[in-house]
Amino acid sequence: METNGFHDIFHKYFHGLQVVEERHMNMPKTIGKGEIRRWTSFSGMEIVLSNYQFHNNYRIQFASDAAMVELNFCLQGSGEVQIGHTSYELMSGNSYLYFMNDFDVLFEYEKERPLYSLAIGIPVQLFNHFMMNNAIEKSLGFYSILGNQSFKKFQNPIDSITSNLIKRMIEHPQKDRISQLELESKALELLSIHFGRVLLNDCDANKRSQLSKKDLNKIKQAEEILLQRMESPPSLLELAKIVGLNDYKLKIGFKELFGMSTFAYLREKRMEHAIDLLRSGNSNVTETAFAVGYNNVSHFSELFRKKYGMNPSKLLRIY
């Protein structure tokens, strides 16, 4: 399944992404340490990054009559969760796709055990709209999945594609509108991948890696070379020769590891580097385009506008 499909649906359904609120809460020192960061958009999408631990064993209980879809990634630690009459352990290295409606939740945390997680929630209307456009079986909506239950969970290990997307989401601070749009864009990719894997029987998302550890190391080496030579990168054939892989294995393996082709990955990183250069105030649009490997400034500006929703010259004026 193409991840761009969900992006297109999101934009058509909500006429663009704009973050309207960001909240940052520090854990009260009397009960623990850490923080929770939360971003909310006009669409109702919520992204929550949690990193905290409690000084003592702790229980949190709440109830909601809302219907919701949530994708949660446990990046570190663990905890006991009870939703309705269903109990399970939140375990590091796993993803959880939840469907919930009119539910009670009880969280139990052990003292001094850190919990680091990323959660993405979307409105039921958006989920149903996505499924109508992608599912062969058109009745595969929120309530048909949930049935007469108040809670349903799908659990999967976090694979390399997901891990890399999460890393790219959380490695940069979200200080401005552009960064917040980047954050939501990657969240949409994660949702699309996991809806495909869990609900649409996406073969590409479910297949296991056929790459050896040695091959994976060579592919990571190829990534480093692309980043180091961003201004004048090698072709796929040249890159394959440098790292000692045939071009087919590099092409397939790179997409498996990073979720996109070498060309798409390079373009993504070029745009990220371009934003950093423009924010610094030390480079104009032309200098930035050349620095990230584009000799055609108009083409660079078009790609930048397509990704971030504004011209690089406009971003430059902001800074």
What is the per-residue pLDDT across 97-141, written as a single tens digit (0 to 9) for each?
Answer: 999 888 888 888 889 999 999 999 998 888 888 777 765 555 578
Place of tokens 């879809």: 69
Residues of the chain with CATH 2.60.120.10: 4-205
pTM for this predicted structure: 0.65
Long-range contact set of residues 166-173: C-beta below 8 Å, sequence gap at least 24:
166/73, 166/75, 166/118, 166/190, 169/118, 170/49, 170/118, 172/272
Query: Could you count the other beta carbons within 10 Å of the beta carbon of residue 13?
Result: 14
Best CA proximity match to 263, nearest among 255, 274, 272: 255
What is the per-residue pLDDT across 3-15, written as a single tens digit (0 to 9) for each?
Answer: 444 444 444 443 3
On whether the CB atoms of residues 118 and 61 are closer than 8 A, the answer is: no
What is the sign of the dihedral through the CA atoms of 175, 160, 309 and 8? negative
pLDDT band, very low/low/confident/very high, at 66 (cuts 50, 70, 90): confident
- Would you say how long the chain is, in residues? 319
Helix (H) or strand (E) segment spanning residue 68: strand 58-76
The torsion angles phi and psi of 160, rounded to 5 degrees, stand at -65, -40
CA–CA separation, 123 vs 131, rounded Å?
A: 13
Name the CATH topology of 212-318.
Answer: Arc Repressor Mutant, subunit A (1.10.10)
Q: In 3-state terms, what secondary structure has residue 167?
A: helix
How confident is the model at residue 17, as a pLDDT?
A: 40
Burial 40-56 (b: 16+ CB within 10 A, else e): bbebebbbbbbbbbbee
Long-range contact set of residues 227-230: C-beta below 8 Å, sequence gap at least 24:
227/269, 230/266, 230/269, 230/270, 230/273, 230/292, 230/293
Which residues are 41's β-sheet partners?
A: 19
How confident is the model at residue 9, as a pLDDT?
A: 42
AA letter at 310: M
Statement: residue 162 has pLDDT above 80: yes
Statement: residue 212 has pLDDT above 70: yes
CA–CA separation, 161 vs 259, rounded Å?
A: 5
What is the sign of the dihedral through the CA atoms of 189, 194, 196 and 197? positive
Rg (CA), the chain: 21
Instruction: Identify the CATH assignment for 4-205 out of 3.20.20.140, 2.130.10.10, 2.60.120.10, 3.10.310.30.
Output: 2.60.120.10
CA–CA separation, 256 vs 318, rounded Å?
A: 37
How confident is the model at residue 270, as a pLDDT?
A: 92
Helix (H) or strand (E) segment spanning residue 35: strand 32-41
CA–CA separation, 261 vs 253, rounded Å?
A: 9
Lowest model confidence (mean pLDDT) among 24-33, 39-48, 72-81: 39-48
Residues of the chain with CATH 1.10.10.60: 212-318
Which residues are 22's β-sheet partners?
A: 39
Statement: residue 211 has pLDDT above 70: yes
